[in-house]
Chain A
Amino acid sequence: MQTKYLDIFIKEAEEHLTSLQKGLLLLEKGTGDAALIHELLRNAHTLKGSARMLGIDGISAIAHRMEDLLKDIEEGRKPVGSTSVDLLLQGTDAISRMAVALAKGEESPVDVEKFIAAFDRGESTAEAVKEAGQPEEEVLGDTVRAKVKTLDSLVNFMGELIINKKRFEDKAATLKYLCQAGGDTLPAAQIREFQRGLEEDVLYLNYLIQELYGETMSLRMLPLRTITEGFRRLVRDLAKAQGKEIELEMSGEGIEVDRVLLEMLKPMFLHILTNAVDHGVESPAERQAKGKPAKGTVRVVARHEGSSVWIAIRDDGRGMDPGKIKEVAVRRGVISREEADLLTEEDALYLTLRPGFSTSEIVTDISGRGVGMDVVKKNAERVKGNILLKSEPGAFTEITLQLPLTLSVIEALMVTCGGETYAIPLSYVQETIKIRAEDIKTVGGKEAVSVRGLTTPLVSLARLLGLPEQKTFLEAGKIAAVVLKLRDHCLACMVDATLDSSEIVVKGLGGQLRSVKYIFGATILGDGNPALILNVPDIFAGAEGAETAGLRKVFEESRAASQRGSILVVDDSITTRTMERSILVAHGYRVEIAISGEDALEKVAGDRFDLVITDIEMPGINGFELTKKLRALDEYREVPVIVVSSLSRDEDKRRAIDAGAQAYIVKGSFDQGTLLDTVEAIIG
């Protein structure tokens, strides 16, 4: 078969499959009409025909069956129910998998005969389809699709720049001539003319740069749709697997955001959505009992506002209970009882963003990759975004992400401190103030100032960053400070001087400095030297670390994460334990190995581990018993246990929880990320 035709077929098939998938979901929602069914019929029919043309009998046969079923539905012989839709979706998936395999030149993952037999009986076809491997992490890739028009205009601007450069060269020559010819007395008239010409050139250069900047930036922007495409299906399938009915509504998918941002946004999105399905929306029975419609709704609304993108994800589920959150936070040691009592209900919601907090008692497969909301928070901070939480128990939970449109250029306030220049993203700056020595109060041994009537903690940026402190400003009588704001908290930060604010180009610190505390990135100043951009959330965390006991704990925890804990891996399979060991060791954990439950019990007697990872099925005592036995030991009562097993039934998971395990990872879905995320979430 000629690959040229195959390529064309695969592209065509993709279109039809997308259309099928979308249409089927509409059909299930009951919003489909005769026209929709007919459209689906046409999709299936075309797929069948094209596949037959190329002799791809498997795809042709499945498409044929789908076409038949759709015909029955169209003619009213079969009802439009979730069973038929399910079957059709399975057909769509099977064809899609086969097409992907074809494109890659791999063997078909679908046993067509078996599939058709199951399809005809109206049963699940899962057995006929080879388990999909760990879906490859979908990245937006290193390549960009650009409109030819955009490229042309870029080339055009480059040409203009070159011409402009020539004009500057001419100007340089003119100036040289003027200097030489004039001797000590420069001809004023000629200089004036020269100055006018130069001004014109600079203006034009300015214009060119602005246009070029706009065009290049637009190359980086992609619509939100790029990542949300599969979300409707995802929510539907997740909900279905849990016997829930949930509909995902989305608006504002056309909003364009920086591609880098999109990549960071996707895991956050997935996490929040799975959370909503998993823990937010109740089962149909529970909902009806509360007088809500049986079908739950998750609504995603994206919109522009200023230079930010706001994405609100709201489910009409059981909401978040501030009381319960406080209780869990106290139990987990995230805050003290006294601190909990002082927190308002709204503030209590934000406790869920702290590391080590997760309201769901066990890490499930479904909420799989990310483990807690702290992951979402971390990602949001990385892109200088904000998270807002709103909830009413029994009614709704709304998580709003506020993200910058682009990460490449930001408005920043420049300050000097310890002899260096730093940039502070303006979105975090409330105001700059001057403080006199008598303005400084001490509150609980810590310095604070009053800003607009609000007592605001005062910290020294130099001290925070470990720079030499300037003493001179005290003598001068006035201290410059920047008032930073993060959500509803403020912090006054002493600096040597505040300079202007300006637009800066954000650059990474390079591959070598991947994450540096207090620093978000760097920019290049007019003189060609770099200046570091401060990471404001880090500054808050660092400043709070010295404030109250409870917050200090959070600080210590994040520091402890850099010196990672020790883990005991228990597994009778050498492959599994070697794999787990190498993953963990590579990420800085100390790992001991036990080859059986008995071996593990011996090892824990002589050592103190921060975490135990165990298999279930092992010769001798199994993982459940091991977990129980560990729980019975004084020293291991609190030590977290992660079960990694090939048993995937809910019953096994239940048993693991009952035995006292904190997390359960199914080997089938086992990959580096899941294990690491889970371990990190539990012991940091």
Chain B
Amino acid sequence: MEEAKKAGYDIHSILHEMREEYWHGLAEVDEVQDEYLECVSFSLGGEIYAFESVCAAEIVRIPKLVKVPRVPEIIVGVFNLRGQITAAMDFRPFFGLPQPPLTSAGRIIVVRSEKFAMGILTEAVHGVEALSLGSFESVVKSLPGAQREYIRGQLHHGGRLIMLLDIVKLLSSPELVVGQ
């Protein structure tokens, strides 16, 4: 086997490769017909969440967050986004998720709505990738309130379960705004 490989013509492995390629090609054709959603995926409370990347304006390292007194827990603080004071939100308590401390891998995803920009604190951002909606399942009914309200569902991608956030709805949630 070892020798044959060196010789460069191990017929079995060549056939195996060809077969693999053939199946892979078939699978790809299938996926192309599938619907894709380009999403930015990130970690919250150890789970993986994602939303449409068009909604994400930019991703920044976590700067110094200045606490604002007497505002809801999810508004962790404000930071300077190129001269604009922007609120950083920790949605983990909102979604009833655990809050492991943020490390140097932590990032803020800046999202913009019509009225304001806000930063979403994440434990890490995994990147932007096209997620196939083929494996999409709607939201599990047993989830608690806020989760059911703002999570559209989950999908499997690369062996991981990804929760799809309804970012537009989340941004327009009145609970995010303090004061009238």
Q: Across the interface, name the chain A residue whose C-beta is closest to B86.
A: A510
- B69:A466 contact, CB within 8 angstroms: yes
Known: A510-B78, A522-B78. A532 touches B178 (CB 8 A): no
Please tell me which stretch of B16-24, B100-108, B112-120, B133-141 contacts chain A, meaning at least 4 of its Cβ atoms lie within 8 angstroms of it: B112-120
Report how many A-B pairs have Cβ atoms within 8 Å: 86
- B87:A518 contact, CB within 8 angstroms: no
State the CA gap A519–B116 with chains docked (Å): 18
**10 extra interface residue pairs, beta carbon distance < 8 Å, beyond A507-B85, A510-B118, A513-B179:** A465-B69, A509-B87, A511-B115, A512-B75, A512-B178, A513-B178, A516-B68, A519-B69, A529-B64, A529-B79
Q: Is B71 an interface residue (CB 8 A)?
A: yes
Q: Is A619 an interface residue (CB 8 A)?
A: no
Contacts of A516 in B (CB 8 A): 68-71, 178-179
State the CA gap A467–B67 with chains docked (Å): 9
- B180:A513 contact, CB within 8 angstroms: no
- B70:A518 contact, CB within 8 angstroms: yes
Contacts of B176 in A (CB 8 A): 512
Q: Is A420 an interface residue (CB 8 A)?
A: yes
- B87:A510 contact, CB within 8 angstroms: yes
- B179:A529 contact, CB within 8 angstroms: no
Choose among A465, A512, A521, A529 the residue that contacts B80 (Cβ–Cβ < 8 A): A529
Interface residues of A in 501-535 (CB under 8 A from B): 507-519, 521-522, 524, 528-532
- A513:B68 contact, CB within 8 angstroms: yes
- A528:B180 contact, CB within 8 angstroms: no
8 closest A-B pairs by CB: A515-B179, A511-B116, A465-B69, A514-B179, A511-B115, A529-B64, A522-B85, A512-B116
Most buried by B among A508, A516, A524: A516
Give the distance to chain A from B82, nearest Cβ to Cβ, in Å: 10
Q: Is A587 an interface residue (CB 8 A)?
A: yes
Interface residues as binary, A378-397 with B (CB distance below 8 Å gives 1, 0 otherwise): 00000000000000000000
- B78:A514 contact, CB within 8 angstroms: no
Q: Across the interface, name the chain A residue whose C-beta is closest to B81.
A: A510
Residues of A within 8 A of B (CB): 420, 465-467, 507-519, 521-522, 524, 528-532, 587
State the CA gap A420–B69 with chains docked (Å): 11
State the CA gap A528–B87 with chains docked (Å): 15
Known: A514-B177, A515-B180. A528 touches B69 (CB 8 A): no
Q: Is B63 an interface residue (CB 8 A)?
A: yes
- A529:B69 contact, CB within 8 angstroms: no
Q: Across the interface, name the chain B residue whose C-beta is closest to A676.
A: B180
Most buried by B among A514, A521, A531: A514
- A513:B87 contact, CB within 8 angstroms: yes
Contacts of A507 in B (CB 8 A): 83-85
Give the distance to chain A from B175, nearest Cβ to Cβ, in Å: 11
Q: Is B54 an interface residue (CB 8 A)?
A: no
Give the distance to chain A from B39, nearest Cβ to Cβ, in Å: 23
Q: Is B66 an interface residue (CB 8 A)?
A: yes
A-B contact pairs, 6 of them (CB 8 A): A510-B86, A510-B87, A512-B176, A516-B68, A522-B85, A530-B66
- A524:B83 contact, CB within 8 angstroms: yes
Q: Across the interface, name the chain B residue whose C-beta is closest to A680.
A: B180
Q: Across the interface, name the chain B residue whose C-beta is closest to A517.
A: B70
- A514:B80 contact, CB within 8 angstroms: no
Q: Across the interface, name the chain B residue whose C-beta is closest to A515.
A: B179
- A530:B69 contact, CB within 8 angstroms: no
- A513:B71 contact, CB within 8 angstroms: yes
Contacts of B75 in A (CB 8 A): 512-513
Contacts of A517 in B (CB 8 A): 69-70
Give the distance to chain A from B109, nearest Cβ to Cβ, in Å: 15
- B85:A529 contact, CB within 8 angstroms: no
Q: Across the interface, name the chain A residue whose C-beta is closest to B68.
A: A516
Q: Across the interface, name the chain B residue whose C-beta is closest to A534.
A: B69
Contacts of B117 in A (CB 8 A): 510
State the CA gap A532–B71 with chains docked (Å): 14
Q: Across the interface, name the chain B residue whose C-beta is closest to A587.
A: B180
Give the distance to chain A from B20, nearest Cβ to Cβ, in Å: 52
Contacts of B85 in A (CB 8 A): 507-510, 521-522, 524, 530
- A515:B79 contact, CB within 8 angstroms: no
- B64:A512 contact, CB within 8 angstroms: no
- A514:B84 contact, CB within 8 angstroms: no
State the CA gap A532–B117 with chains docked (Å): 18
Q: Across the interface, name the chain B residue whose C-beta is closest to A507.
A: B85
- B87:A512 contact, CB within 8 angstroms: yes
Choose among B67, B70, B86, B178 the residue that contacts A514 (Cβ–Cβ < 8 A): B178
Contacts of B67 in A (CB 8 A): 420, 467
